[in-house]
Amino acid sequence: MSSINISGIVLANGSIQSGEGFKVTHDQTGLYTIFFSTPFSDSPAVVATQIYPNDVNDFGHDTMDNAVIVGIAADRFRVKTGNSNNKGDGADRDFSFVAVGITN
């Protein structure tokens, strides 16, 4: 067994800005599925965070603009990004993630 890390940045439209070892589908507004090219032995630990507005000179926005992991499996995870309209609606946003786990 060996430990592997997969990380990347996904743009709001579902395209990959950086990273490798995964592909992305943009399933609906604010909902993305990330498929690992090589599945883990079991569900990996995954951390995701929304990047909004993606401007290093910005002082920040509402912290309710967020990313929520809604499911993790050995071969994929799903993340929902949202906006701060107090309704919990999905919104297309850039996000980054790191997945860490074991493969056989």
User: Tell me: the pLDDT tens digits for 44-54?
Assistant: 999 999 998 88
Q: What's the confidence (pLDDT) of residue 27?
A: 98
Q: Which of 93, 46, 97 is nearest to 72 (CA)?
A: 46
Q: What's the confidence (pLDDT) of residue 84?
A: 78
Domain that holds residue 54: 2-103
Q: What's the confidence (pLDDT) of residue 29?
A: 96
Parallel, antiparallel or unpaired: strands 22-28 and 31-36:
antiparallel
What's the CATH number where 30 sits? 2.60.40
Low-confidence ranges of the chain (pLDDT < 70): none
Q: How far is CA 80 from CA 46, 53, 64, in A?
A: 13, 16, 13
Q: What's the confidence (pLDDT) of residue 69?
A: 98
Counting the structural domains of the chain, the total is: 1
State whether residue 40 is helix, strand or coil: coil
Q: What's the confidence (pLDDT) of residue 62?
A: 76
Q: What's the confidence (pLDDT) of residue 55?
A: 86
